[in-house]
Structure 1
Amino acid sequence: MKHIITCLFGFLLVGCSGAKVEQSTVLNPTNEIEGIKRDVLQNTSNGDDVKSSNLAPKLKAYSTPENIEDIMVYLTSDELQGRDTGSEGISKAADFIQNVFEKNNIQPYFSSYRDTLSNYSDGTAFNVVGYLPGTDAKLKNEFVIIGAHYDHIGLMSGQVVDSIANGANDNASGTTTVLEFAKYFGELEENKRSIIFALFSAEEKGLLGSKHLADKLKEKNIDLYAMLNFEMVGVPMVGKDHSLYLTGYELSNLAEVSNRYARKNLVGFLPKAKEFNLFRRSDNASFHDVFSVPSQTYSTFDFTNFGEYHKVGDEASLMNYIHMATIVNETIPMITGIVNSPIKELRYN
């Protein structure tokens, strides 16, 4: 997340590895899946077509902590040198992302997956942009962007033992979440609206990757329905009755719609997010500015649960993989509802 606030350095670190976390602190993915299975059976008993139901996605592609860990370990490895924009390390991350897209039926949206930034002058930088066409004759002309930034800040000077800022929570966690969504929807191929999966570079340089893509898509005159952004979702919030918060919560009905499709209190309000204007501090802002459609960020960074923001200590070992898999599993029905709803329900207030 771009330059949140320097006072974060003093906050208490409460993140923990998926191997050590207690089940009582997060929702159990297995229980969540069983709950949705019950919903599927109920829909079936009511005569509904499970396959076409917005609220009953197929279960076989649901995420596991092991899926999450495999991606996170690579994206945060020292080999990638902190994924600084324009670096060799971030190019390797882009290769990895492209490989996930290719294996899961996600096409390049442009002539290739890599889209070179027109507004970055310090070397070459590129977003990685994938595309899953919609299946409905009319709704396929409407787009939902699911995005996250995959860059971080690279190497930090003045560090004695470790100089690599691996960027696990910021934002390998969001990148991994988007890749899990791409795997799920790419296998299912039942999204009525078209989906663009966008992994942005140069977020840490001033949201340059998302600004470039927003302007380029505006020139193509696409009908953008919503932009759903994921940022810093690697550890659970503390003492909250919801799993995620939404930046710009009060600006639209996205939280209400999200919770309805998730069939639970998935998304809530975080006062600190409003206080520090996090709505303007991540890639959603670029699409809000250019398209004026609901463009908001989902996050679990609550200003008390992670003290390694923009430090070399932002390591994969601090991430909670059970929590991350649960976030993916809880959010898939929400995204399914949004991309398949017969009308445009989302709106700014």
Structure 2
Amino acid sequence: MRGATALVSQRQDSLDVAFVIPRSGPEGIFGPSCEACGKLAVDEINSASGVLTRELRLHVVNGGQAPERVARDVDALVRAGKVQAVAGWHISAVRQQIDRVVAGRVPYVYSTLYEGGERTEGVFLTGETPDRQVLPALTWMARELAVRTWCIVGDDYVWPRASARVARRFARRSAGIRVLDEVFVPLGTEDFASAVRRVRGSGARGVLMFLVGSDAVRFNRAFVAAGLDQRCVRLSPLMEENMLLASGVANTRDLYATAGFFEALVTSAGLDFSRRYVERFGITAPALNSMGESCYEALTFMARLAERAGSIELDRLCAAADELAYESPRGVVRMVGNHLLQSVYLARAEGLEFDVIAQLAGPPRS
């Protein structure tokens, strides 16, 4: 691994991480939650002796910028020896650019749900993938709600398009499930009138949303304004509590979401995490959600992996990663290859909150 040992040896008293989270763009709506959860992880890790006795420190990089700009910012920090690792929530278009500048140099923990298929050595993926998130949800909707026809509406970049391909392949193999139409819009779209017309014209009973942040909020408003909530359900793998609040109580009818964590998740680990979050930041803190929790997850994973490897050198981290298991706010999680397997849940929006109604993917096997 080129340069890895030299990079980590420059600071023996701390482990400095480029923490790439959205502070602008459509995904900026949940950036404050990501930052708060990152701070909580740092507090807890450092109070428990740090990462191999090193103080964990975050250097926030705005992941909502253009992907090339984000990669340049991360590369500059790595080149200057200011950071020895990268982590955080950002879209796949940003991940692909960061991959190009950090591969083989420093560990990179990508916390975001994503389209699957990432195999770059030294990149560890702690988010959900369609095979354990979207596909089981489609099966549940067909069985429990008799929703078998879908129109896909997504932002036009790698995660929505690749995830839509996974859904299409699944529908072709599944008796009775069909994708009738697909609509992709530029990231940052404000006017969804054309997309809503396509949904109406498709005749689909459900809309599979691959929309990010404020794009999903605007779509929700346009969807309900057109009266489509009277005939269609919506299903999103990227819908969280801040987006419900922004959508408004009138615009969340028959809206379903699937994720590895919800603030309303009634498990001992989830409830304890929510309690610690409120104790640390108070009741006026940014709404806790799966995107924010995933940032906590990424940093916790990094600390657990370093503990198992006895080092933060990239070669040793890669060797120690497979089959790492621990208890997290998402329950028991386990690393298989470079992906963290976890339980996944389905929730239905009830006004401005989620009600978790089913477990779609069980805990990883021991």
Q: If each structure's strand is expressed as a fraction of its own residues, which one has the higher value?
A: 2
TM-score scaled by structure 1?
0.28
Greater relative contact order (Cα < 8 A, sep 6+)? 1
Larger Rg: 2
